[in-house]
Structure 1
Amino acid sequence: MNTPPALWEYRLGPDDSGQKYLSILLHKFHFSIKLLNRLKKGERVWVNGKFTYLTSRGKEGDLLSVELFPDEEATIKGEDLPLDILFEDEYLLAVNKPVGQVVHPNNRYPTQTLGNAVIGHWERRGENRLFRPIHRIDRNTSGVVVIAKNQFAHQQLAWQLERGHIHKRYHGFVQGVVAENEGTIDDSIGFAPNSFIKRQIDPNGISARTCFRVLHRYPTATFLEFILETGRTHQIRAHCEGFGHPLLGDDLYGGDTTFLTRHALHSSMYAFLHPATGLPIIIRAPFPKDLRDLLIHLKDFVTA
């Protein structure tokens, strides 16, 4: 099976004249040293259609081309599983992950994961790739997950993520009526006592910051939008419990499970700059059926 290569190209401008191609790729476009070393060994960098050394200097008008590595040995077994694709091109795949599915195989969940589904999707098209999710969400959180299709796309989005250039939004339903229209929870998070899973507010823990905005209030619940400024494990869940409004259905953090048996949290939007074009990309995922049903129940409760 042969995976079609992704070709990255850039036309040098006036400011690039006299610069080494290495410097342009490293400093202007944030190619990692690891990737540049692979490109150098594979002779995958050309100027105006001819192989060039990274230490050569460019001039205005040069067309710098980089062939990104197409074939990689998958480390996850592909499976024929449903996959709700929101966006895909030669660099990225974005999917709407269902409730109950783990992102990456582990000892407890070795199969039926999102990774197995993605690799199976690519294998059926004759493509060999590694599974490189840019971020992970909990097994029972639904919504957007973005996967890089090559090393370049992964390191480009990782660079954006580290610098806060990627914007993620979640929607959730919490227990009780939140009084403030909006606010920020700026509380550090650590492990809860005697647990390897649950987190809690801990002044000695890792810094975590969650912004929220009320979208609608119901008699016994509140519909919130969350914007994460950090990405800690269980951050929203622990912060909601900490300020007295656990997510509905979240039994681990004290949420009411009367109408929902999983925490009512959905990864609804992921915005970033495309790794190759630099153009803004916004990925949105619709609510799954259980949250749509919860919305109907809450609305019926208001009108009853």
Structure 2
Amino acid sequence: MNSVNTLWEYRLQPEDAGQKYLSILKHKFHFSLKVLQHLKQGERVWVDGCFTYLTARGKEGQLLTIQLFAEEESPIQGEDLPLSILYEDDYLLAVNKPVGQVVHPNRRYPNNTLGNAVMGYWERKGEQRLFRPIHRIDRNTSGVVIIAKNQFAHQQLAWQLERGHIHKRYYGFVHGYLRADSGTINSPIGLAPNSFIKRQIQETGEPSRTDYRVIRRYSEACLLEFILETGRTHQIRVHCESIGHPLLGDDLYGGDTSLINRQALHSSVYAFLHPVTGLPLVIRAPFPEDLRHLLKALNKAKE
């Protein structure tokens, strides 16, 4: 199997003159200490085509080139599984995760996960990479999952995520009729007593904020758009239950399963800056078949 090396390039600007390359990479581009340590191993840093050290100082106009290292062998077994690719380049892979699929293999779900599918896809292309999802969504939540193709891309996107620079939008169908067009749920979430899975609102929980907007009202349900200010486990599901409007199909948090047999929640949009170009990137995932059927059923009931 072939390892994958990717080149990162930057033309030094006037403000970079006299600065150490190490300082430019660390402070201007937020290279992590772990990535910088890897760059010190072997000839991975060049200026105008010639090898240099990170401690050397730069000059305006120089072309700084970094060879991002090949990945180690992944412990995840690749499998030939369907993969719905929304976007791909040398640094990122964005997929539309189906309902019922776990993101990362674990003891309960060692196979048929998104990780197995992605590794199988890369193996068929002859590429050796690690599976580095930027985030996870629940097994029965569908939609966008972003995977970094190398440690640098992962570190850059993790930096954006930690600082709230990645904007996530979900769509969900909730029980009941919301009169307000929009609102905010700002309630801390913690693990429910005697449970390893269920969460609940509790004063000692982690700060959690969900903004929502009503997209469409039906006779006994509403389609909402959610914008997450934080990313707690089951956040939307817990917050919807807390205001008396659980997600349709979410029997863990009080939802009815007569119209759909899983929480009617979809990770629809991820907007962020590309880890290399810095340009805005928006990834969108269309509704899966079960949510399209739910839409038809609700529209028919409204007629």
- Is the pair's TM-score, using the shorter chain for normalization, greater than 0.5? yes
Q: Distance in 2 between matches of 1:70 and 1:41?
A: 12
SS in 2 for 1:64: strand
Q: CA deviation at 1:41?
A: 1.1
Q: CA deviation at 1:219?
A: 0.4
Do the aligned residues in 1 keep the contact of 2:175 with 2:222 (CA within 8 Å)? yes
Q: CA deviation at 1:193?
A: 2.3
The one-letter code matched in structure 1 to 2:3 is T
Partner residue, 1:269 = 269
- Pick which of 212-221 and 196-205 moved more: 196-205
SS in 2 for 1:215: strand
Partner residue, 1:258 = 258
Partner residue, 1:203 = 203
Q: Distance in 1 between matches of 2:5 and 2:183?
A: 46
- Pick which of 42-51 and 260-269 moved more: 42-51
Partner residue, 1:185 = 185
Partner residue, 1:68 = 68
Q: Distance in 2 between matches of 1:42 and 1:75?
A: 25
The one-letter code matched in structure 2 to 1:32 is S
Q: Distance in 1 between matches of 2:80 and 2:123?
A: 10
Partner residue, 1:20 = 20
Q: Distance in 2 between matches of 1:42 and 1:122?
A: 26
RMSD value, Cα: 0.7
Q: CA deviation at 1:194?
A: 1.8
Partner residue, 1:85 = 85
Segments of 5+ residues of structure 2 without an aligned counterpart are none
Q: CA deviation at 1:159?
A: 0.3
The one-letter code matched in structure 2 to 1:116 is N
Do the aligned residues in 2 keep the contact of 1:140 with 1:262 (CA within 8 Å)? yes
Q: CA-to-partner distance for each residue in 1:40-96, whole Å, 9 max, x for gaps?
A: 113211100111000000000100000111342112000000000000011000000
Q: CA deviation at 1:107?
A: 0.2
Segments of 5+ residues of structure 1 without an aligned counterpart are none
Q: CA deviation at 1:191?
A: 1.5
Do the aligned residues in 1 keep the contact of 2:4 with 2:129 (CA within 8 Å)? no
Partner residue, 2:160 = 160
Q: CA-to-partner distance for each residue in 1:237-290, whole Å, 9 max, x for gaps?
A: 000000000000000001010010000000000011000100000000000000
- Output the TM-score relative to the length of structure 1: 0.99
Partner residue, 1:285 = 285
Q: CA-to-partner distance for each residue in 1:178-208, whole Å, 9 max, x for gaps?
A: 1211010000011122211111111111110
Do the aligned residues in 1 keep the contact of 2:3 with 2:127 (CA within 8 Å)? yes
Do the aligned residues in 2 keep the contact of 1:2 with 1:71 (CA within 8 Å)? no
Alignment of 1:1-304 (within 5 A): 1-303=1-303
Q: Distance in 1 between matches of 2:42 and 2:15?
A: 28
Moved over 3 A (4+): none
Task: Count matched residues.
Answer: 303
Q: CA-to-partner distance for each residue in 1:123-160, whole Å, 9 max, x for gaps?
A: 00000000000000000000000000000000000000
Q: Distance in 2 between matches of 1:33 and 1:191?
A: 33
Do the aligned residues in 2 keep the contact of 1:141 with 1:263 (CA within 8 Å)? yes
Q: Distance in 2 between matches of 1:185 and 1:103?
A: 27
- Output the TM-score relative to the length of structure 2: 0.99
Q: CA-to-partner distance for each residue in 1:200-232, whole Å, 9 max, x for gaps?
A: 111111110000000000000000000000000
The one-letter code matched in structure 2 to 1:155 is Q
SS in 1 for 2:169: strand
